[in-house]
Amino acid sequence: MTDSGGNESRGTAGGGTVHQAKVVTVSDGVMAGTREDRSGEALAAILGDAGWEVVSRSVVADGVVSVAGELARVCASFAGLVVTTGGTGFAPRDQTPEGTREVIEREAPGLAEAMRQVNPLGRLSRAIAGIKGQTIVLNTPGSPKGAAECLEAVLDILPHALDLLADVPTSHP
């Protein structure tokens, strides 16, 4: 497992809240060094371009235990967004949703449904979205294009969702 960044919180910048995000790549190939982490890079770039502060990126092997362990670690004492990429399909080692369910407290099916609708291949996705404390966890596919499309499908509503989790007074968009 590789990691960079921490759990620091941030106040405001330019009058608005700067939301933080962490990206977790789930891939045996990236872990082994035989594959480049293009989907993790794509997610971090989209988040950065949208004004999010990406405070860490990590890589973990496929599997329920490895995914659950990494998600528990990155969600601990964190208020923000955690986006996974990889392990959401039909292959035997694609177990990211099962590992995610081990960690989250509540599912957020509307987010997962919105992500599935952006591409016809979304019908093959087993990805889930959920909440752990004040953290939103999203599963996205392992392809850079699929990961980007799924994140972009819900990115506009995530700041409002995080404000709701933090019990910040909000007006509904």
Q: Which domains does the chain have, with CATH numbers?
A: 19-165 (3.40.980.10)
**What are the angstrom distances between the C-alpha of 22 and each of 40, 63, 90, 91, 169?**
10, 19, 25, 25, 25
pTM of the model: 0.90
Going residue by residue through the chain, which has 173 residues, state the pLDDT in tens, using 9 for 90 and above: 444 444 333 333 334 678 999 999 999 999 999 999 999 999 999 999 999 999 999 999 999 999 999 999 999 999 999 999 999 999 999 999 999 999 999 999 999 999 999 999 999 999 999 999 999 999 999 999 999 999 999 999 999 999 999 998 777 65
**Residue entry with tokens 């921490």:** 6
- The answer to whether the beta carbons of residues 12 and 20 sit under 8 Å apart is no
